[in-house]
Structure 1
Amino acid sequence: MKLGLAQLQWNTRVTDHARSLGWMAYTQIGPNSRPEDPSLILTRGPRVVLVYLRTGRRRADRQPPVERFPDGMVTVCWYPEDWPQVLGVLAGGQASGDIA
């Protein structure tokens, strides 16, 4: 799936900030990525956060399918306006608004 400029910039912003705080980041940019897969998988120590990055407006009918992940897996869907939440989670806080 090809990403537009806004999606690439949003992905880079989150990934760069996560790495600056010591997170390992695996990104799903490439021709083999699927929309139902997380955009990023972030790990730091025992924490794993599955991140769906979205741009545009929120739509309830476009939420990612997360039922295939184990219970307790932290799964979030972040839009650019969620930047304060992104900062909190990456700094070590709990992820509010988990979609799983």
Structure 2
Amino acid sequence: MKLGPEQSAWNDRVTTQARKLGWTAYGQTAANTRTADPSLILVRGPRILVVWLRTGRRRPDRQPPVERFPGAEVHVWYPDDWPRVLGTLVTTQADNVHG
């Protein structure tokens, strides 16, 4: 699945900010993009975030399978979540699991 302009811009915004804050960002390659897989895996020190980036409306029936990563700090972020995204990226501890 190829990202559209809105999805690509959202992905770039999160990835750029994460890297500025010292995170290593691992994203999907175009050849391996699957909607059930996380958009990004962010690593900084011992902390690992598994992140699905979404645009559009929030639909409870279309949530990613976060249960595939038990015990991991997982997030589903929409553009409206930007303050929460920043808060998560600047914290040093895993304060919010399944956020």
- Residue identity matched to 1:56: G
Segments of 4+ in structure 1 off by > 2 A? 93-96
Please tell me whether residue 22 in structure 1 is matched to residue 26 in structure 2: no
* Cα contact 2:24–2:42 (8 A) shared by 1: yes
Equivalent position of 1:43 in the other structure: 43
Whether 2:62 is the aligned partner of 1:62: answer yes
How far does the alpha carbon of each residue in 1:11-51 deviate from its partner, in whole angstroms, 9 at most, with x for none? 00000000000000001141212111100000000000000
Which position in structure 2 is the counterpart of 1:95?
96
Q: How many pairs were matched up?
A: 97
- The two structures have a TM-score, normalised by structure 1, of 0.91
- 8 Å Cα contact 2:19/2:25 also seen in 1: yes
CA contact (8 A) 2:2 2:33 kept: no
Shifted more, 56-65 versus 22-31: the winner is 22-31
Distance in 1 separating the partners of 2:84 and 2:29: 23
CA distance in 2, matches of 1:17, 1:46: 19
Report the structure, 1 or 2, having the larger helix content.
Answer: 2
Q: Is the 8 A contact 1:52 1:78 kept in 2?
A: yes
- Number of the residue aligned with 2:72: 73
Q: Secondary structure at the match of 1:75?
A: strand
Q: How well do the aligned residues superpose, as a CA RMSD in angstroms? A: 1.4
Would you say the 8 A contact 2:50–2:73 is kept in 1?
Answer: yes
Corresponding residue number in structure 2 for 1:52 = 52
Q: Mind listing any 5+ residue stretches in structure 2 that lack a counterpart?
A: none
Following the alignment from structure 2 to structure 1, what is the Cα–Cα distance between the partners of residues 20 and 73? 20
